[in-house]
Amino acid sequence: MQSRQSQTLRLGECPRKVVGWDTMVPVVDGTERRYVSLDNGASTPILEPVRDVVDEAYKWYSSVHRGAGFKSKMSTYLYETARKKVATFAGADDGAVVIFVRNATEGINVLATRLGLQPDDVVLTTVMEHHSHLLPWRQFCRVEHVNVDDNGRVDLDHLQLKLTECGSNVRLIAISGASNVTGVVPPVSDIARIAHQHGALISVDAAQLAPHRKITMGPSGAEDSIDFLTFSGHKMYAPLGSGALIARRELLTQDVPHLRGGGTVSWVGLEEVVWNPSPGRDEAGSPNVLGAVAFGAAASILGEIGFESIVEHERELTTHALDRMRRIPGVTVYGPADVPVAEDKMGVICFNVEGYAHEHVASILANEWGVGVRNGRFCAQPYLERLLGLNKDEVLDYRTRMFGGEKFGLPGMVRASFGIYNTIEDVDTLCDGIEAITRGEHVEYDRDEVTGDFIPRGFEPDPADYFRW
């Protein structure tokens, strides 16, 4: 019998330990540049040790839970071990159930259907939420929104006020563990305590938080413990579409699962159904075994690297980036921009460059500097409007223009988000690119009226030329 001996990965090794770290991409001058990936807030690349674990699992890949063969037993072992690894990563105890889902969005939707929310109930959330933590409650109950201050931090006084106004109707406080726009990290333990003191529960969307900070759900029933937690593997250096909803088992009150079918039931008659206990009840159909393996491996590896060094590294990159960006004339950074970076901010920086559309800046960085960033509204429309200081009329105006088919001049920002493998050189490439833009040093761009893209004149490399199917 062979047993795999893994070696602990250290943070300093990460720049060369992500799959494709040295990938070259075409740029406008006809040369190629090493791709600088600064869109980790969307999806991270894959850590090589995660890929290695998945490679090893391929040969054992088979049906899960139901097969009699040894490979089925192995696949079941891998899937269930991944579940334990994810629970350990999140500091969840035996009172919590880890439900594998495709991604954080699905996890939050599963939660919303299983909470047994009633029309009079209130879910108290914030204007900083990603749409995935903002929308799922609306079909079941009333949703109230807590404001943020001008730096994008949650206004805790307003939270208290809302709790007083809504009284005992508040069933749940739904809050981001960290913002995907400003990197702001709200004081989740304090908010958990406030929620529990008011007889409410707390759901934390940890999609952004999980790869950056240590999470501790805490023991069942403790005042500052988290009741429901969701996050995704694809932002944690694992591919293959897997995420988790971790829930206090006894708090999933609505019997009927989000999806119904194979795996969710222990008894079916033509008129009768008896649901399985969770997680089976909430994992309808054949599960994504390899996705779970990748996710579990990534969770373990991040834990081994250690969040102290992850936080320190990220602070160094973010401080350096903010220090350079605040010296570039015409650059506006949104959210906290203190140097050195504030304790409650992760390595996510949103900005705009005066005189340039956000799409244009992102396109120049991609096509001339080989830097991958994100631009737009990042599935956090209300938060962006707040940070940009748009009033109601301005929001209405851009809504009208957008639905009128206008593609350009709509509000948005550019986002750079750092991962464990990024380096100071990566940050410098970004800042060099931004500086060049402010000096007007870039080629001509044409606007594509259909897609809304900014395309460098005469340069449009075809992705089909870069891949052999």
Ligand X SMILES: Cc1ncc(COP(=O)(O)O)c(C=O)c1O
- From 26-34, 129-137, 195-203, 256-264, give the range in contact with ligand X by CB under 6 A: 129-137
Q: Cα separation of 288 and 297, whole Å?
A: 14
- From 17-25, 130-138, 286-294, 345-353, give the range in contact with ligand X by CB under 6 A: 130-138
Least Å distance, CB 131 to ligand X, is: 8
Q: Vertex 199, ends 195 and 202: CA angle to 5°? A: 40
Find out whether 40 and 418 touch, Cβ atoms under 8 Å: yes
Nearest CB to ligand X, comparing residues 206 and 297: 206
Q: In terms of DSSP H, where are the helices of 171-249? A: 188-197
Which of 258, 295, 133 minimizes the C-alpha distance to 202? 133
Find out whether 152 and 128 touch, Cβ atoms under 8 Å: yes
Q: Is 232 in the site for ligand X (CB under 6 A)?
A: yes
Among 44, 75, 103, 225, binds ligand X (CB under 6 A): 103
Q: Is 288 in the site for ligand X (CB under 6 A)?
A: no
Among 133, 153, 171, 258, binds ligand X (CB under 6 A): 133
Find out whether 159 and 166 touch, Cβ atoms under 8 Å: no
Only one residue has tokens 């001008």, namely: 150
Find out whether 203 and 112 touch, Cβ atoms under 8 Å: no
Least Å distance, CB 19 to ligand X, is: 19
Nearest CB to ligand X, comparing residues 14 and 210: 210
Q: Vertex 243, ends 242 and 247: CA angle to 5°? A: 145
Least Å distance, CB 132 to ligand X, is: 4
Q: How far is CA 9 from the centre of its chain?
A: 23
Find out whether 103 and 79 touch, Cβ atoms under 8 Å: no
Catalytic residue among 141, 166, 379, 431: 379
Only one residue has tokens 């949104």, namely: 334
Nearest CB to ligand X, comparing residues 107 and 433: 107
Q: Is 130 in the site for ligand X (CB under 6 A)?
A: yes
Q: Is 109 in the site for ligand X (CB under 6 A)?
A: no
Pattern of binders to ligand X over 172-211, x per CB under 6 A?
----x---x------------------------x-xx---
Q: Is 379 one of the catalytic residues?
A: yes
| Residue 438 in tokens | 């402010």
Residues annotated as part of the active site: 379
Which residues sit at the interface with ligand X, rule CB under 6 A?
A: 42, 103-105, 130, 132-133, 176, 180, 205, 207-208, 232, 243
